[in-house]
Structure 1
């Protein structure tokens, strides 16, 4: 069973329905209550993927408070990618030929009352340990920008187009009815500082490790987000970054 302690925080895998409900409660607060999104009634964010996923919890050691959570959906290889959450929104047939183990990371969130960067480090440490133990060769998921107005993130999208588009062999195609095709529409030169500040921390983490994104963003009004498909081939992670991650994971 995955368990990791670093500094003020500990990461572990959910062991009970109560643990999963705690994660769903934090997700509701981050994705629905905090953003004004229109979601199911009640105080949890739950869907049909929860029962088939592994849930990771990051807790503050002193208080036991849940400060971060995410879920993992392991796949044996690309032929199973149609079972993923992301496949609802992106046409992923190009990735069906990926022949190694994959894992989808989803519903990643951090308690808005906490801004300690160590939380993200511990979360990625837990992910790194899972990847190493399971022999995962690709991570993927949806990276979300708050709100559904692309105008607020033009520099970020321009930088994604300029530096971080998926390789053609893996490029997701359009499936969702409402998308922003930033790779086709944007011709601007990005302000790099403004672009980085406008990106969600999870996406920034993917990119510094060599991750890539779809050429369009999905407008998800139910969750009040714009999201891009994000992929990361484990073998592409720079060696120095792998050492840092494994230092936390170890």
Structure 2
């Protein structure tokens, strides 16, 4: 991890929120505890439970971690994990390559930031936290001279997968990536064999990506560990809705 490069704050309904980059092992553990609470405890994924109460993997030490903290309680209430092109090159792969063949993206690898593990505490989901995280993400991409954001967006299979089918069918109608950016899942989710739900419920994060100009790069992958259908997304920085950065003024001074 590197020292904090992003500092911003905003007054939210719940109090003052502060955005920064995790810079100590303890801050990383705070991030991992929040992820465990949201991804494993709340979703009831008993197969992933552990005594430490941490959601961690080998990518954490190679990534930067945006954090949003409640300044009154000092609790970490939001986080985003970011892998720069330089660190991905040293590591030898992106996290998404565990689920997708990204061969068609080889020509843009040096201009990519991979984002993942977006996570917000259940008591802070009014919108301020995610917008602050997105403003930090845009600033990070500028600092890394990155032109593309990539990552996986998950859709729960708690209903048997019917909502995932409906969401996928609805979104690809307008948001399918150009052919040169298509990817292939290693373990495809069998969406063609399931009936779509009548009323698609698009996850909030995925909806935010679509509104900001992201593309869906092909069929979904099945993640049996997290019981989800995962879509691989690519968003050119040129498409990123700048309202997140403008709303909080993050990075404007540095970019001037």
TM category, shorter = 0.7 to 0.9
**Is the Cα contact below 8 Å between 1:158 and 1:186 reproduced in 2?**
no
2:117 maps to 1:107: yes
Closer/same/farther in 2, CA of residues 154 and 147 from structure 1, 3 Å limit: closer
Q: In the alignment, which of 4, 25, 28 is matched to residue 33 of structure 2? A: 25
Determine the C-alpha separation between the residues in 1 that align with 2:92 and 2:138. Answer: 24
The within-5 A match list for 1:30-109 is 30-37=38-45, 38-39=47-48, 41-42=50-51, 43-76=53-86, 83-98=93-108, 100-109=110-119
Closer/same/farther in 2, CA of residues 205 and 16 from structure 1, 3 Å limit: same
Gaps of 5+ in 2: none
Query: 2:217 — aligned with what?
Result: 214
Determine the C-alpha separation between the residues in 1 that align with 2:234 and 2:174. Answer: 14
Determine the C-alpha separation between the residues in 1 that align with 2:172 and 2:73. Answer: 42
Query: 1:245 — aligned with what?
Result: 245
Compute the TM-score of the two structures, normalised by the length of structure 1: 0.86
- The offset of 1:128, in angstroms, is 1.3
Query: 1:131 — aligned with what?
Result: 141
- The offset of 1:79, in angstroms, is 7.5
Determine the C-alpha separation between the residues in 2 that align with 1:186 and 1:97. Answer: 35
DSSP 3-state at the match of 2:179: coil
Q: In the alignment, which of 217, 233, 239 is matched to residue 236 of structure 2? A: 233
Moved beyond 4 Å, runs of 4+: 76-82, 185-188
Q: In the alignment, which of 126, 141, 162 is matched to residue 173 of structure 2? A: 162
**Is the Cα contact below 8 Å between 1:139 and 1:231 reproduced in 2?**
yes
Query: 2:226 — aligned with what?
Result: 223
RMSD: 2.5
Closer/same/farther in 2, CA of residues 75 and 100 from structure 1, 3 Å limit: closer
- The offset of 1:243, in angstroms, is 4.5
DSSP 3-state at the match of 2:77: strand
Determine the C-alpha separation between the residues in 1 that align with 2:78 and 2:232. Answer: 21
- The offset of 1:77, in angstroms, is 10
- The offset of 1:115, in angstroms, is 2.1
**CA displacement, residues 19-52 of structure 1 (integer Å, 9 cap, x when unaligned):** 0011001111111111112215220011010110
**Is the Cα contact below 8 Å between 1:137 and 1:235 reproduced in 2?**
yes
Closer/same/farther in 2, CA of residues 65 and 77 from structure 1, 3 Å limit: closer
Compute the TM-score of the two structures, normalised by the length of structure 2: 0.84
